[in-house]
Amino acid sequence: MAFIITVANAKGGVGKSTVAYSLACYYAKRGASVGILDEDIQQTITDNINAWEDQGVDVPVKLIDKDNLPSYQSLADNEEFDMIFVDTPPVLTTQLETIYDISDMVLIPIKPSTSDYNSLMRSIDTLKSAMNRNTDMLTAIVINMAVKSSKVQDSFREAFKTEDRIKVLDAELANRVIHTKYILDSYSLFDTADKAAKEEMAALGDEIYYLLTL
């Protein structure tokens, strides 16, 4: 049985694909067998992996073949992977609700901006209904492209303080240009020399793994 982490946010460009892919690379580096179901219409992760595989690199994160996937439920019964990431498009669809039903965690990257905060609050009811249907599912919010001493970041933490199953993660990812460009030089952020970016992603991966295995 694989842990299924669905990375979602109805807001576009918040880092869903970036975070899903680098976390997948992190767990693979730690020895896990990791699959990705790329449901993002932009196919960002598929492009990343294919570009490197075409150059003969054996990328240790494997794309799950959507065309031969009998159902989302079959992901949950999968024996091949320890962890599966599902990258999703920036829209709330009924398809997404079906994916939530088989997820162990919905990971929501969010940028520290008021409009992103408002957008998240508008989708919170959908998430709460999903958590009512799937009582094993956790929701974790990760502040991405964080900036130092932002009041918006503090208000995220305040807003979810009393929620048991919606957690704003302690790990944050700073706004770092490396995330936008490393893919040209390597398939993985963890092959770069950017110690700070790697440490942040690793801390995020460790915190998520801790929550999943509690």
Ligand X SMILES: Nc1ncnc2c1ncn2[C@@H]1O[C@H](COP(=O)(O)OP(=O)(O)OP(=O)(O)O)[C@@H](O)[C@H]1O
**Interface residue list for ligand X (CB under 6 A):** 12-18, 40, 42, 44, 90, 144-145, 173, 175-176, 179-180
Name the pairing type of β-strands 138-143 and 166-168: parallel
Which of ligand X, Mg ion, none is residue 176 near (CB under 5 to 8 Å by kind)?
ligand X
Which of Mg ion, ligand X, none is residue 144 near (CB under 5 to 8 Å by kind)?
ligand X
Helices (H), the chain: 16-29, 44-54, 73-76, 94-101, 114-133, 151-159, 178-181, 195-212
Q: Does 119 bind Mg ion (CB under 5 A)?
A: no
59: Cα within 13 Å, side-chain hemisphere = 27
* Residue 162 or 171 with smaller CB distance to ligand X: 171
Structure tokens at 103: 């997820």
CB of 89 to Mg ion, least distance (A): 7
* Residue 34 or 143 with smaller CB distance to ligand X: 143
CB of 200 to ligand X, least distance (A): 8
Q: How far apart are CA 61 and CA 210, in angstroms?
A: 21
Interface with Mg ion in residues 12-71 (CB under 5 A): 16-17, 40, 44
CB of 194 to ligand X, least distance (A): 11
Name the pairing type of β-strands 3-7 and 34-38: unpaired
Torsion 27-136-74-169 (CA) sign: negative
Which of ligand X, Mg ion, none is residue 105 near (CB under 5 to 8 Å by kind)?
none
* Residue 16 or 167 with smaller CB distance to ligand X: 16
CB of 33 to ligand X, least distance (A): 23
Q: Does 172 bind Mg ion (CB under 5 A)?
A: no
* Residue 77 or 206 with smaller CB distance to ligand X: 206
Q: How far apart are CA 45 and CA 51, in angstroms?
A: 10
CB of 85 to ligand X, least distance (A): 12
In sequence order, what are the residues at sequence separation of 6 or more whose Cβ sits closer than 8 angstroms to the Cβ of residue 84? 2, 3, 4, 5, 34, 35, 36, 37, 64, 75, 78
The contact set with Mg ion (CB under 5 A) reads: 16-17, 40, 44
